Structure 1
Amino acid sequence: MTEDPRTGERRQEPQVRIGQGPGNRRELVVKSLWIGVWLIFLSSPVQDLTSGRHTTGGTVAGALGLTAFVVTYLSLVFRNMGRPFSPRTVVSMISVMAVLAPLLVYTLGPAWLGLFVYLSVACGATMPVRAAFWAIPAATVAMALVGLRWHEKPDVTLLLVPMIGFAMIGVGQLVRTTIELRKARATVAQLAANEERLRLARDLHDLLGHSLSLITLKSELAGRMLPDHPDKAAQQVADIEQVSRQALVDVREAVTGYRRARLGAELAGVQVALTAAGVTAEVPAEPALDGVPEESESALAWALREAVTNVVRHSGADRCLVQLTHRQTLDGALLELSVEDNGSGEAGGIPGNGLSGLMERLEKAGGTLEAGRIKHGFRLVARVPAAPAGDVGSGA
């Protein structure tokens, strides 16, 4: 993150997410530039084709061969960013490159030796590690042997081929490790959700098991007493009403405990959710909430959840800044939550159902909501009273 010296605003820089395909147009451009910059080694073959030193047939054949080589290379590398090809397809495409590279160099001249750099990169980035450790030296040896055809002495290109190839093995390992880490995080989140469901199921079973059994028993008794002893049946029905009311109170208390959003828990969950989605997050530590009403804390926690949900699902952002600040105003102490991202923001700037419901929730707690586009993304600011009503003198 950098700061604009003219406006003082924080500027979010584009980030290439490792091990994931491009999620939006900006990421596609960034990754395309990252891959395209290495096409500089094609300048020599292109210059050789346009120099006029070859026959018309040789120029056409060279252009077709170079096009096939570059298309194969780019298809292999671009696809490897998202869903890779099957191992058999990868081997087939690398085999095409392994045939075209020495053939073009042998027939057209030493200006084409740079093709072996792309062959080495493709081997290191897409092949299994053990196979790549054999394929890269083989490509280097092939380059040296074909270079003898034109009496070329070893130069820096001969060193670049193995160096870049083995470097790409490291990059490939990093990508695979990152993908496995994302899967592990998703699995941990799923297991945590399953454990929470099981705990809720156990609590509801403990709360309702006895009550429902008693209601069933008394309902059977009332049914048997109803023809001959309507007064006793009425007493059983009254008992059923009392038990059911108490069961309803117990369930409401249990569910309220589960549903009440806690700001500290939401901050921890936000960090995990944003990181799992590939968004670089700046999230504050658990704040001091002494004296903050439960309604204010809950409303702010729901605001944080809604804002981060929009960031993950709709914004296309790769950075998110969460800030929590105590402020003292003429109306009393306020707790302010700010969630800022560098994405595209809400479509058309029109608040969705989530923001409308969030605004109503904050108003019930005596708070306010501001949401809208900023210069480099979208910002949501929620404010709630940091002290109980009537305690105007307290503040941060």
Structure 2
Amino acid sequence: MPRRTPVGQPPANLRELLIKGLWITVWLVFLSSPVEDLVGGGRSTAATVAGSCGLAVFVGVYLALVFRTMGRPFSRRVVFGLGGVLSVLAPVLAWTLGSAWLGLFVYLAVAFGATLPLRAAYWAIPASAVVMYLIGLRTDEKEARGLVVLVLLIGFAMAGVGQLVRTTIELRKARATVAQLAANEERLRLARDLHDLLGHSLSLITLKSELAGRMLPGHPEQAARQVADIEQVSRQALADVREAVTGYRRPRLAAELAGAQVALTAAEVIAEVPAEPDLAGVPEETESALAWALREAVTNVVRHSGASRCAVRLLRHETLDGPVLELTVEDNGSGGSGKGPGNGLTGLTERLQKVGGTLRAGRIKRGFRLVARVPTAPLTDVGSGA
């Protein structure tokens, strides 16, 4: 699926820059009246030159202001300064050159709505509409009356879009902060666990090593016993570390479901993911195998399928072999290259088989479906029941 230009972020490549540029320049249609007025030939050379220069400056400032707001914004002082230039040019040009130039107030309202803080935009947009109407009373009241509604609607619409962009940026920053805090908390937990696991053992090894060193010249047998104790403690510490590392590396289904929601949303895939899995009675090894299946399935959806929708379901079933927990990941994409199961699916099949589970994956009428089933009872119990 082609990547859509994200809201609230600067263009990441030339394609996104062209899309956003096209979206902005499409609104330059309101410049047709001033351009026709300039090329119509009814004005003096001085008026035509002055009008052309004023229009060029107005459009340049407008595009610079709106384009820059999409990326790294100008400082507030620069924004107000450029907005002030537009606020002077629009009335002066419309007052001196006639009703054909009243359309500049549409751009003035757009610039106010897109760049000013919400509270400032609330009074700046109506003020621009009032000024335009007052100038229109002198030139063409009927056209001014029609443009008032347009200026207000477009201005407040852009204010809403600007607020949406700012909120989106804040949400992205908040999400990054939450992820950083979660990583910091995980590091602290790892540090605490390592201290609890190794602190006592290493202290004991140090003390016994010093004791063995003092005993070694005169009491070699007692020193040997201390060395044997050191070996036993170190072996136990190694076993504890291995067990802890295994626990760290084992994925949890709840965490993988949350990660799937984030990954699919980031890839602009409409996701249906259950929030709280029911894992009562499910062994850790079985949960881990199901979590690996979910991770692999979501990775395939994001990287290879080109899907726009993905549904994840987690259900319990009663079968002839006993109760099972079934994970289904279904999308509306192509399912990848179609050259047979890859290494990921082959590895998943082996993982699931170790806990007595099964894996089915393949194309359906409109997309691709992966179904992983695992027994909710330990493998030994399943085997005895069969």
Residues in 2 aligned to 1:79 and 1:209: alpha-carbon distance in whole angstroms? 55
Partner in structure 2 of residue 204 of structure 1: 194
Which of 329, 344, 349 is matched with 1:338 structurally?
Answer: 329
Residues in 1 aligned to 2:236 and 2:368: alpha-carbon distance in whole angstroms? 41
Q: What letter is aligned with 2:168?
A: T
Give the drift of 1:216.
0.8
Q: What letter is aligned with 2:329?
A: S
Residues in 2 aligned to 1:185 and 1:305: alpha-carbon distance in whole angstroms? 21
Q: What letter is aligned with 1:129?
A: L
Partner in structure 2 of residue 193 of structure 1: 183
Partner in structure 2 of residue 386 of structure 1: 374
Give the drift of 1:151.
4.8
CA spacing shift, 1:371–1:130, aligned 2, 3 Å: same
Alpha carbons 1:284, 1:323 under 8 Å: kept: yes
Deviations 1:228-280 (A, max 9, x none): 22222221111111111111122222222232112232102332455577764
Higher helix share: 2
Partner in structure 2 of residue 251 of structure 1: 241
Greater shift in the superposed pair: 298-307 or 79-88: 298-307
Residues in 1 aligned to 2:62 and 2:198: alpha-carbon distance in whole angstroms? 63
Partner in structure 2 of residue 4 of structure 1: none
Which of 162, 169, 183 is matched with 1:179 structurally?
Answer: 169
Compute the RMSD of aligned alpha carbons: 4.5
Task: Say yes or no: does 1:116 pair with 2:116.
Answer: no
Q: What letter is aligned with 1:100?
A: L
Classify the secondary structure of the residue corresponding to 1:83.
Answer: coil
Matches within 5 A, 1:240-389: 240-272=230-262, 274-275=264-265, 280-287=270-277, 294-295=284-285, 297-305=287-295, 321-324=310-313, 335=326, 337-338=328-329, 340=331, 360=347, 362-366=349-353, 384=372, 386-387=374-375
Unaligned runs of 5+ in 1: 1-11
Give the drift of 1:307.
5.9
CA spacing shift, 1:107–1:370, aligned 2, 3 Å: farther
Partner in structure 2 of residue 19 of structure 1: 8
Classify the secondary structure of the residue corresponding to 2:72.
Answer: coil
Q: What letter is aligned with 2:132?
A: M
Identity of aligned residues (%): 63
Deviations 1:193-251 (A, max 9, x none): 22222222222212221111111111111111222222222211111111111111222
CA spacing shift, 1:203–1:299, aligned 2, 3 Å: same
Tell me the matched-pair count.
375
Residues in 1 aligned to 2:240 and 2:344: alpha-carbon distance in whole angstroms? 27
Give the drift of 1:114.
0.7
Partner in structure 2 of residue 159 of structure 1: 149
Matches within 5 A, 1:197-236: 197-236=187-226
Residues in 2 aligned to 1:369 and 1:79: alpha-carbon distance in whole angstroms? 50
Unaligned runs of 5+ in 2: none
Residues in 2 aligned to 1:133 and 1:271: alpha-carbon distance in whole angstroms? 37
Q: What letter is aligned with 2:62?
A: Y
Q: What letter is aligned with 2:310?
A: L
Task: Say yes or no: does 1:89 pair with 2:104.
Answer: no
CA spacing shift, 1:383–1:234, aligned 2, 3 Å: farther
**Under a length normalisation based on structure 2, what TM-score does the superposition of the two structures give?**
0.76
Classify the secondary structure of the residue corresponding to 2:139.
Answer: coil
Partner in structure 2 of residue 8 of structure 1: none
**Under a length normalisation based on structure 1, what TM-score does the superposition of the two structures give?**
0.74
Task: Say yes or no: does 1:67 pair with 2:56.
Answer: yes
Alpha carbons 2:93, 2:101 under 8 Å: kept: yes
